Every structure is written in C-alpha cells, then in structure tokens.
Structure 1
Amino acid sequence: MKFGLYGLHRDRNVDPGVLVRRARAAEEAGFESLWVGDHIALPAGEGNPPRLEALVALGYLAAVTERVRLGVGLIVLPQRQPVLLAKQVTSLDVLSGGRLTVAVGAGYVEPELNAMGVTLAERGARTEEYLRVMRALWGAERSFEGRFVSFSGVVQHPSPVQRPHPPIVVGGHSAAAYRRAVRHGSGWYGWGLDPEATAEALRALAEAGRDEQRPDGLGDLEITMTPPGVPGPETVRRYADVGVDRLIIDLEGIDDDAVDGVITYVGRDLAGPG
C-alpha cells in the first residue's frame, strides 16, 4: 500500500513556512505522494478555509522536496483552458523531475463552473474533449478540431519528462466517471468511502470496463482512495484486500496541533511496515 497526504494547500498550510516544514516531514516519514485540490471560486458563506491555487502550490512543493511524488486531485478539468493546462502540467513535470500525477474530474459546484464560463450541462463533454486536447499536445500533434477547442500549426516544447505524459487519474463515483477512467486513466480516484463501499465502487468500475475499450499500453487501473479519517492498520488491510493501491490521508477535520503527529504516525505505523 502506498500512502499520500492531502491538504497542504489549505488552512494553516497556506503559510509558506508551515507548508515547507510539513511537506519535508511527510517526505522523510515515507509518504509516497503529496496531493492538493482544485477549487478556484467557491460559493460565499459556506465557511470555506483559505486555499492556494493547485498548480501554484505544486510548483512550490516541487521546489522544496526531492523524492516524493506530487499530485493534483481532482483538478476540475472543464473550468481549465486545456492548451494552457497542458503547458502547465508539462512545466511541473519537468521542474519536479518527473514526479507529477494529475487526477481529473468533471466538477460539481455549479456557481464555480459558471464563474469560469462553463455550464453544468456541458462539463462532461468538455472533460472528454480537454483530455484529448492535452494528449494531442503532449504527443506533438499540431492541429486539433473540436467542439470547444481548435488549433492548427502550433506545438509545445519541452515534452513532459514522463512519457507519453504524466499519469492521468480519473476521479468520481458516477457511471460516467467510471467509463472515463477506463477510456483515459492510468488510475481511478475515489473519495470518502469505507472498505465495503469501495468494494462496491470497484465492482461498478469493473462493469464499466466490460463496455469500454481501454487503450493499449495503459495496463491495469491503479486504485486510489481517500478514506474517511485516518485508518488504523486493520482498516488499511481491508482496503488492500478489496484492491486499493494507494490511500491518501486528508488533513481536513484534523486539529492543526495534531497534524504533525498524524504525519509521523502514518509514516511510522502504516507506511513504514509496508
């Protein structure tokens, strides 16, 4: 089992000193990856904590760490301009030495999508097309003609360190998300499910796989889950038994004074024995 840490873009971690200290502590403790989330403009009045923009936060994390992988999950793909995003992802992959993983989703916060010029109804179609746009650019294709994006006679350099591109993980619990994971993803990312609910989701994912054509070269889907809370060793074993490859521990709800202890616990008692 691999372990990731989610949340160094949020709450008190927006302080540069705190972010650096905890990122380096997690790397030394044995975490496989550090993950940040993507919300740009959430509805007012919901008690939202301060948060850094995801790609900026990853660039900072790339500069202050050496070995740990870096993940954005989930980036709300339809509210990003994909030609620019492809360049940003490549830049992060180059500057991190090939440590980047990109998890994408279609989004669900309608006011946020609307603020970025996207309707809820078209988010799925945009997500599908934007994935094709980015793959075209990473593959040095010079033209693309789509419903939302078109270009001709352009190219991006350099190429990503990871070839043909950084791993693309698809998140979400809907039938559409499962199908998208099979079509496009090196992995699937679920959120907040216990081991039993995870097993149900993986059965639905397998069912989607029977109806979708998976491209050659992608291999088996790697399964990532953010569990509710911080799991103990027995719960970790239950996740492993149902087929989870990576658990990402979310810092939300953990008292700030306890975060450093959680990092040490996961590294020593969960990641260390494995």
Structure 2
Amino acid sequence: MKFGLYGLHRDRNVAPDVLARRAALAEQSGFESLWVGDHIALPPGEGNPPRLEALIALTYLAAVTSRIRLGVGLIVLPQRQPVLLAKQLTSLDVLSGGRLTVAVGAGYVEPELHAMGVALSERGARTDEYLAAMHALWTAEPAFTGRFASYAGVVQHPSPVQSPHPPILVGGHSRAAYRRAARTANGWYGWGLDPDETAQAQRTLAEATRTEQRPAALGELEITLTPTGLPDLDTARRYADTGVDRLIIELEGVPDDRVDDLITTIGETLIGRL
C-alpha cells in the first residue's frame, strides 16, 4: 500500500520554511505522495484556516522535493477554466518531472461556486465537459465544442511528461461520481470512510464499471482513500484487504507541535509494512 500526506497547504504550513521542511521530512520518511486541497473562497467562520491556492502550493512543493509524487485533490473542477487548467497541470507535470496526480470533484460549497460564476445545478455537467476538454487538449485535438467551453484552431505545447496526461482520479460518494470515475478516470478518491464503508463503495464502483462499460485503456481503477484519523497497522491492513491502493493521512486536527513527529511515526509504523 502507498501512503500520502494531506494538508501541507493550510494552517501553519503556509509559511514557506515550514512547508519546505515538512515536505522534505515526508519524502525522507517514505511517503509516496503529498496532497493539497482546493478551495478558493469559503464562507466566513470557524473551520476556515489560512490556505494556499492548490496549484501554486504544488509548484512550490515540486521545487523543494525530488522524488515524492504531488497530488491535488480534490480540485473543484467546475470553477476552473479548463483550457488554462490543462496548461497549468501540464506545466506542473513537466516541472516536477512527471510526478503529478490530479483528483477532481464537482464541488459542493454553493457560495464558493457562485463567487466563481458557477451555478450549483451546473456543476456535474461542467465537470464532465471540462474533463473532456482537457483530455482533448492533452491529446492535441485542435478543436472542442461544448456547452460551457469551446476552442478551435489551438494546441498546447509541451505535452505532459506522463502520457497522455497525469493520472486522473474522480472523488465523491454520489452515484454520479462513481459513474464518472468508471467512465473517465484512472482512479477514485474517497474521503472519511471506514473499512466497511470502503468495501461498499468498492462494490458500487464495480457495478458502475460494468454499467458504464469502462474503456479497457484505462485499466483497473486505482482506489485512494483518506480515512478519519490516523489508522493503526491493523486498520491499514483492513483497508488494504478491501482493495485500497493508497491511504492519504490528513493533518487536520493535529496540533502544530505534533505534525513533524506524526510524519516520522507514520514512516516508522506503517510505511513499508503492508
């Protein structure tokens, strides 16, 4: 099993020296990947800590690391302009030497979507269309026509290091998200599920894969999950037994003075033991 670390884009980690130090520590401790989330503007109140913009944070992480993979998840796809986003993700993949993984979702925070000019009712349709538009750009198709995004007579260079594009994961627990993952993605990203709930999600994904007639070129769905809290070795084994390929450990709620010790502890007690 692979282990990722989520959360170096927010709270105290927004300080450049802290971000760089903890990224290096995670790389040294054997983590497979570093993950940042994507919110651009959230309603005021508690539970809204300082956070860096996801793609800028990943660009910085690419510069201060050399081996560890870099993931954005979930990027709220309908509130991004897909032609620009395709270029940004390609640039990240090139500058990181092909270390990028992209997890996308449809979003759920209505004030944030509204602030970015997106109606909540359109988020699913935009997500599907933007994925198709980006794939067209990554495969050098010079035109794309859709309801929300269109272009003609343009291509993008360079191409991503990973061909034809960085791995794409689809996140979410709705039937639409499962179908989207089965139809278009390299993997699925779940959040906050225990092992039994994860097993049920796997069964629903398998059903969606059959219904959507998943393209053979995509291969098997890679399963990524962020559990609640820090799993011990036995719990991590239960996730592995359900077919989870990657566990991403979240830093939210961990006191700042314990984060470095937590990174080291995960390296010593979980990584390499499954």
Q: TM-score, normalised by structure 2?
A: 0.99
Residue matched to 2:66:
66
Residues 45-87 of structure 1: per-residue CA shift (max 9 Å, x gap)? 2341000000000000000000000000000000000000000
Question: For residue 250 of structure 2, what is the aligned residue in structure 1?
Answer: 250
- 1:80-159 equivalences in 2 (<5 Å): 80-159=80-159
**Alignment deviations for residues 230-267 of structure 1 (CA, whole Å, 9 cap, x no partner):** 00000000000111010000000111111111101111
* Matched residue, 2:183: 183
CA deviation digits over 1:86-119, x for unaligned, max 9?
A: 0000000000000000000000000000000000
Displaced runs of 4 or more, over 2 A: none
- Residues 25-60 of structure 1, C-alpha deviations (whole Å, 9 max, x = no match): 000000000000000000112341000000000000
CA offsets 1:160-189 (integer angstroms, 9 cap, x no match):
000010000000000000000001110000
Once the two structures are TM-superposed, the CA of residue 272 in structure 1 deviates from its matched residue by: 3.1
Which position in structure 1 is the counterpart of 2:11?
Answer: 11
* Secondary structure of 2:254's aligned partner: coil
| RMSD between aligned residues | 0.7
| 1:206 matches 2:206 | yes
Letter in 2 for 1:62: A
1:227-266 superposed matches below 5 A: 227-266=227-266
Q: How does 1:186-197 map to 2 (within 5 A)?
A: 186-197=186-197
Structure 1 unaligned residues grouped into runs of 5+: none
Structure 1 equivalent of residue 26 of structure 2:
26
Supply the distance in 2 between the matched residues of 1:5 and 1:151 (Cα, whole angstroms): 37
Give me the whole-angstrom Cα distance separating, in 2, the residues matched to 1:97 and 1:51: 25
Using the alignment, how far apart are the partners of 1:268 and 1:89 within structure 2?
A: 32
SS of match in other structure, 1:12: helix
> Secondary structure at the residue paired with 2:182?
helix
Question: Partner of 1:271: helix, strand, or coil?
Answer: coil
Matched-pair identity in %: 76
Show the counterpart of 2:273: 273
Amino acid at match of 1:177: A
Q: Quick one: which amino acid aligns to residue 20 of structure 2?
A: V
- Cα distance in 2 for partners of 1:105, 1:196 equals 23
Structure 2 runs not aligned, ≥5 long: none
Deviation at 1:153, TM superposition (A): 0.4
Letter in 2 for 1:68: I
Q: Which amino acid aligns with 2:203?
A: R
The one-letter amino acid of 2:143's match is: S
How far apart, CA to CA, are the structure 1 residues paired with 2:214 and 2:193? Answer: 25
SS in 1 for 2:270: helix
